[in-house]
């Protein structure tokens, strides 16, 4: 099969590689579309992501795939050839205490697509366990189905923070994950949503297409001003931080009310950031780290199918599999104007 293989920094080569072999509990999927994640861009730019994930051999990236099932293993009864599916990218052991308690995203033996040692989905075919695929409606474009992965992150952030319809919510960061957190919150019935970012074009996009109540430029206003203007001085019930900017992490405590909740999603470049520990204690803030997601894909498919926001608008540009290097270059060099870049498997990529 054809695949886009990363050999080093900004070195993507389109090659013929061996098609993966399917086991009795697995399915063979013809990949139709794969969203580009920020982690893919990190690997492409640095052949690593931070100090934790270092590439040591050529790698196929991509962990936000959708496609069509071509074959199923002899033990598979839940799906069949011809089913259109979105694919959860992390297969876990199912035996450890984390898996058994429902927190399988914390499994120490997870095999996650495209991290070092596990090939990803920038290829024509992929084999996955049958329990990792979820049928999508015939009317749902494959490019939209790819959004189930980042949307699952938003769902998990909302669930950990016990988000309720009456909450005043602040989402810091108007990138793909931030906007997916907004979509998840809307589906939870939340109507009072503020989005903060330092880039005005992203704020305008959020206001126009994502049904947020307020947008604020966090580079131009103080935390006190934001709290006063958006919450009448009371503070937000919940803050979801998705940007990974140390300054954004720092102000979450200033923005949240006493007894409020904070979900930290964004991963900063620095290994440590500063917080007002006294204020966390004084306010009795509940602070949640958000690592991927668990048990969220069925809800993600429902939300994507609901059209609660205009998900089509989030797809900035599509590239053919043969142009994966150009797609990653675009995602790297147009971070502020691009929301989601997608690699598709067809003869000619659509131009948006």
- Convert the pLDDT of each residue in 232-258 to its tens digit: 999 999 999 999 998 888 899 999 999
> Is the pLDDT at 45 greater than 90, yes or no?
yes
What pLDDT score was predicted for residue 270? 77
Structure tokens at 348: 């000619």
Instruction: Give how far Cα 98 sits from Cα of 121, 192, 232, 264, Å.
Output: 26, 34, 41, 20
What pLDDT score was predicted for residue 350? 40
- Convert the pLDDT of each residue in 160-209 to its tens digit: 999 999 999 999 999 999 999 999 999 999 999 999 999 999 999 999 99
- Convert the pLDDT of each residue in 84-109 to its tens digit: 999 999 999 999 999 999 999 999 99
What's the residue count for the chain?
Answer: 352
Q: Are 60 and 109 in contact (CB under 8 A)?
A: no
Rounded Cα–Cα distance for residues 245 and 266 (Å): 7
Rounded Cα–Cα distance for residues 224 and 208 (Å): 26
> Is the pLDDT at 154 greater than 80, yes or no?
yes
Query: pTM of the predicted model, to two decimals?
Result: 0.95
Q: Are 9 and 47 in contact (CB under 8 A)?
A: yes
What pLDDT score was predicted for residue 336? 81
What pLDDT score was predicted for residue 348? 38
Compute the Cα dihedral for 325, 326, 327, 333 and give only its sign.
Answer: positive
* Residue-averaged pLDDT of the chain: 95
> Is the pLDDT at 74 greater than 90, yes or no?
yes
How many other CB atoms are there within 10 angstroms of residue 51's CB atom?
7
What pLDDT score was predicted for residue 351? 37
- Convert the pLDDT of each residue in 268-314 to its tens digit: 877 788 888 999 999 999 999 999 999 999 999 999 999 999 999 99
Within 173-255, residue ranges assigned H as helices are 176-187, 200-209, 223-231, 246-255
Higher per-residue pLDDT: 228 or 273: 228
The residue among 240, 170, 179 whose CA lies nearest residue 208 is: 179
Percentage with pLDDT > 90 across the chain: 90
What pLDDT score was predicted for residue 131? 97
331 — pLDDT class (breaks 50, 70, 90): very high
């Amino acid at each position: 099969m054809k695949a886009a293989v990363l050999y080093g920094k900004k070195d993507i080569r389109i090659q013929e590689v061996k098609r993966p072999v399917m086991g009795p509990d697995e399915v063979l999927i013809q990949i139709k579309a794969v969203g580009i994640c920020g982690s893919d861009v990190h690997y492409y730019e640095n052949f690593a992501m931070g100090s934790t994930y270092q590439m040591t051999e050529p790698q196929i990236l991509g962990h936000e795939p959708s496609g069509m099932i071509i074959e199923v293993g002899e033990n598979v009864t839940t799906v069949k050839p011809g089913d259109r599916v979105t694919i959860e990218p992390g297969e876990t052991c199912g035996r450890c205490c984390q898996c058994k308690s429902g927190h399988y995203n914390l499994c120490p033996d997870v095999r996650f697509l495209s991290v070092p040692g596990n090939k990803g989905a920038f290829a024509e075919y992929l084999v996955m366990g049958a329990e990792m695929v979820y049928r999508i409606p015939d009317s749902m474009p494959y490019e939209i189905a790819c959004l189930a992965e980042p949307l699952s992150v938003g769902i998990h952030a909302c669930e950990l923070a016990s988000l309720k319809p009456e909450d005043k919510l602040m989402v810091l960061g108007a990138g793909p994950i931030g906007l997916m957190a907004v979509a998840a919150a809307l589906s939870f019935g939340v109507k009072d949503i503020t989005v903060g970012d330092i880039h005005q074009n992203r704020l305008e996009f959020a206001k126009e297409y994502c049904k947020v109540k307020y947008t604020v430029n966090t580079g131009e206003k103080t935390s006190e001003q934001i709290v006063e203007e958006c919450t009448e001085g009371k503070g937000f019930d919940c803050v979801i931080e998705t940007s990974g900017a140390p300054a954004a992490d720092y102000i979450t405590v200033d923005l949240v009310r006493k007894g409020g909740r904070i979900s930290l999603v964004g991963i900063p470049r620095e290994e440590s950031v500063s917080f007002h520990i006294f204020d966390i204690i004084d306010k009795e803030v509940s602070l949640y780290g958000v690592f991927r997601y668990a048990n969220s894909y069925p809800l993600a498919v429902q939300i994507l199918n609901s059209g609660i926001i205009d998900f089509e608008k989030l797809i900035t540009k599509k590239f053919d599999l043969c142009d994966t290097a150009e797609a990653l270059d675009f995602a790297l060099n147009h971070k502020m104007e691009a929301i989601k870049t997608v690699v598709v498997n067809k003869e000619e990529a659509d131009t948006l």
